[in-house]
Amino acid sequence: MPYLLLTLAILSEVCATSCLKLTEGFSKLWPSVGVAVGYVLSFALLGRALKHIPVSVAYAVWSGAGTAAVAGIGVVAFGESLGRLQIAGIALIIVGVVVLNLKGGH
């Protein structure tokens, strides 16, 4: 159950961050509402997950997965590009999260 909460927290954060681009500087109401709701929900779910998952592991997974997902959404939905260096950076984030989980704090 804690990892389901963490997964839902990640999905909420990714949705909120994706909506952030659509707010056009918070000048559009509904995307701005999506940002606020998404971040509040994400932090609430992350807080619940932290009752059972060490903060170092949970935050690394939350932020790393969110970063990778938002980069992918940027490419697919917003036509952004990723160069080799950015792809390598995302790969390093993923490797860092995996190593942190292998170390085992949970």
* Model confidence pTM above 0.95: no
How do the residues of the chain divide into helix, strand and coil, expressed in percent and rounded to 5? 80, 0, 20
User: Do 9 and 46 form a contact (C-beta atoms < 8 A)?
Assistant: yes
Contact 72/22 with Cβ under 8 angstroms? no
pLDDT, one tens digit per residue, over 71-104 is 999 999 999 999 999 999 999 999 988 888 886 5
pLDDT tens readout for residues 33-77: 999 999 999 999 999 999 999 998 999 999 999 999 999 999 999
The pLDDT of residue 97 is 87
CA atoms of 68 and 87, how far apart (whole Å): 9
Structure tokens at 84: 């080799």
Give residue limits of the domains in the chain.
2-103
